[in-house]
Amino acid sequence: MSASGKTTKTLVWILMAMLILGLGGFGITNLGGSVRTVGAVGDKEITTQSYSRALRQMLQGQSSASGNALSFAEAQAQQLDRIVLSQLVATRSLDAETAALGLSVGDERLGRQIVETDAFKGIDGQFNRDDYRFRLQQIGLTERQYEEIVREEMARGIVQTALFSNIRTTASYADTIINFIGEERDFTWAILDETMLDAPLPEATEAELVAFHSENSANYKTPFLRKITFAMLTPEQMIETVEIDETTLQQLFNERAAELNRPERRLVERLVFSAEDIAQTAADAIAAGSTSFEDVVAERGLTLNDIDMGDVSLAELNDAGDAVFAAASGDVVGPLQTDLGPALFRISGVLSAVETSFEDVADELRDEYAQSRARRLIDTERESYEDLLAAGATLEELAAETMMELGMIEWHDRAEATPAGYAAFREAANRITLDDFPEIIELDDGGLIAMRLDAEEPAAEQPLSAVRAEVIEDERRLRLLNALESKADALAAELGEGRAFTSLEVAPRVESGLTRAEFLADAPPSLLVEAFALAAQGDTAVVRGADTVALLQLDMIIAPDVADPELASTRSLLESQYENDLAQDIYNMFVTDIQSRMPITLDEAAINAVNTQF
């Protein structure tokens, strides 16, 4: 059979599987006999069955991809139902175009494809008409309906094959990206510091500080404050009320005995053989030094990961345990009998026994139990706190009548005071309004908090006197960066006149074979970008960062290595992606052209009727 025939056969089998999957467990007849279509493109109807089937396939596909069941309401919120409908419109647009072009599939070819569909074959491997009818009945289709679907699918495939068969991409797309990610640069660079200036940096005058503060006053504003009153109860506050007796601690210790006390263990690799004599021959060769344990493993077509048992106890090794535990780390012992047959064991490491006394962990167990008990006590009190707030109690009254403690905070994004460390508090503090009533919020550690926004204080500019030290530091940093940049410009000019980088009064750093993906810890963030922006050997650039100034000179441009297997793989992926993108664009343009010439009707009432079945 031809390749195109095999492709068509595969498409028909996939179509059959999709029909079964899409209608499985769904009662299409619930829609009633009066609702048959949800729309049409030209004279090609979009049936309620096809729309319902496509919706179910979408829901099942989304659920399989995410691992979580997706409800129809959630799918609608993501507009997935409209996407399904648009895909059906596109499909029927192609069907309408194939009909207009006079393309179809003859009865003989249609029959051959159906007869060769595996889903309709009996136990003898031949087409079984009874199985054919039964499967179609299962999915609510008559033979005529199914054969029409297959006929249109095959005709549509002819058009799609014609669209996509002659797509050819140019090399420029992949070349451009490969050159970008694979090109390397050699360059020399240096960071300039204050000692390299021709003269010391003078101190700023008062007038300069005043001017700098005025020009940058937005940098010296107080933060926008939200003044919040809160009542909070944390496990730490409750711990003092938790009583713990020694019997409880001893019981907790006994429950964790397996974790706190572990027997001596070995890190072991086990290589199993089919016969004792084969295992003995391998052991003798290893002992004689004519081969190694690794070589024997490789000869068996295995890796060390395949035979790694991890850390095991004496009991877990059964009859082989005594010999393995008697050996030293690095030894190979055996052959020893195991449930899987004779085996050689290599000891990769020795793990000493871990023995922990009650006294060693009593304090840790006490703290752990107290925290857990405190969280449980808080949880039992939550409902009563909520009832008090619901009855109109203020935070002050709540703190007076319960174990919750009252506090206040001037909240902003950089606040560090309690309870700013809790993510739940930060989220609520940013969201709360002056009109909100306090409500109980659970904190990350199991504690509770309720809060009230008392006032908001807008950001305000601070006078120079309040931020003088910060202004002096910032103003000096700016002047220093300007001076260093001017010095770097002068040095770059000297390099341009032929002076060697190593003759400058800087500490040169030489980089070789760097790509755009590299990272230089001390360099300004844009240094690599600037290095790759240089066009020719010997070109220079001055790169200014937030706190540093660097001078660089390009030494060499290294073209991508066409023999690099990683780059070759990337090129193949890019070309494949480009072809797929072009194919999708061509398909979209073709369908759009069809739809501009064909009348499209949608029955929203029928669509909603189908949607209500989910």
Residue 4 has pLDDT above 70, yes or no: no
Spatial CA neighbour of 116 closest among 139, 130, 103, 132: 132
Tokens (6 digits) for 253: 């210790």
Classified by CATH at the fold level, domain 225-236+376-457 comes out as Chitinase A; domain 3 (3.10.50)
| Greater pLDDT, 404 or 17 | 404
Q: Decide whether 3-166+595-611 matches 262-351 in CATH topology.
A: no
pTM of the entire predicted model: 0.53
Q: 235-249, 326-340, 557-571: which has the highest mean pLDDT?
A: 557-571
What's the CATH architecture for 3-166+595-611?
Answer: Orthogonal Bundle (1.10)
Phi, psi at residue 403, to the nearest 5°?
A: -85, 0
Cα separations (Å) of 154 from 14, 16, 94, 157, 224? 12, 13, 11, 5, 66
Q: Is the pLDDT of residue 587 over 50?
A: yes
Per-residue 3-state assignment (H helix, E strand, C coil) for 515-539 = CCCCCCCCCCCCHHHHHHHCCCCCC
The domains of the chain are located at 3-166+595-611, 184-214+468-558, 225-236+376-457, 262-351
What pLDDT was estimated at residue 243?
Answer: 64
Report pLDDT for 395: 93
Q: Who's near 109: CB < 8 A, 6+ residues apart?
A: 154
Domain covering 262-351 assigned CATH 3.10.50.40 in the classification:
yes
Q: Which of 53-57, 236-240, 310-314, 498-502 is most confident? A: 498-502
pLDDT digits (tens, 9 = 90+) for 123-149: 778 888 888 888 888 777 788 888 888
pLDDT value at 425 more than 80:
yes
Q: Give the per-residue pLDDT at 294.
A: 87
Pair 440, 385: CB distance under 8 Å? yes
Residue 2 has a pLDDT of 43
CB atoms within 10 A of CB 23: 19
Mean pLDDT of the chain: 84
For the ranges 260-274, 380-394, 468-482, 483-497, the lowest mean pLDDT is seen at 260-274
pLDDT tens-digit readout, 144-196: 888 888 888 888 888 888 877 777 778 888 889 999 999 999 999 999 999 99
pLDDT confidence bin for 66, thresholds 50/70/90: low
The yes-or-no verdict on residue 362 having pLDDT over 70 is no
User: One-letter amino acid identity for 94?
Assistant: L
**pLDDT at res. 500:** 94
> In whole angstroms, what is the distance from residue 304 CA to residue 485 CA?
57
Mean pLDDT of 65-72: 72
Least confident of 9-13, 319-323, 527-531: 9-13
Cα–Cα separations (whole angstroms), residue 91 to 19, 80, 238: 15, 17, 65
The pLDDT value recorded for residue 64 is 60
Identify the pLDDT of residue 478.
Answer: 95
Q: What is the pLDDT confidence band of residue 355, given thresholds at 50, 70 and 90?
A: low
Q: Nearest 10 degrees: CA dihedral of 517, 519, 523, 528?
A: -10
State the pLDDT at residue 12: 44
pLDDT at 464: 94
At 9, the pLDDT band (50, 70, 90 cuts) reads: very low
Question: What's the pLDDT at 489?
Answer: 95
Per-residue DSSP letters for 312-351?
EETGGGGGGHHHHHHSPTT-EEEEEEETTEEEEEEEEEEE
511 strand-pairing partners: 187
Render pLDDT for 319-349 as a digit per residue (tens, 0 to 9).
Answer: 888 888 888 888 888 888 888 888 889 888 8
**CA 552 → CA 396, 522, 546, distances in Å?**
64, 14, 17
The pLDDT of residue 317 is 84
Alpha helices in 39-79 (DSSP H): 48-66, 72-77
The 3-state DSSP composition of the chain as helix, strand, coil percent (nearest 5) reads 55, 20, 30
pLDDT at 1: 40
Give the residue-averaged pLDDT of 106-110. 85
Proportion of the chain above pLDDT 90, given as a percent:
33
Instruction: Read off the pLDDT band of 21 (50, 70, 90).
Output: very low
Strand, helix or coil for residue 511: strand
Q: What is the pLDDT at residue 467?
A: 95
Report the pLDDT averaged over residues 220-242: 84
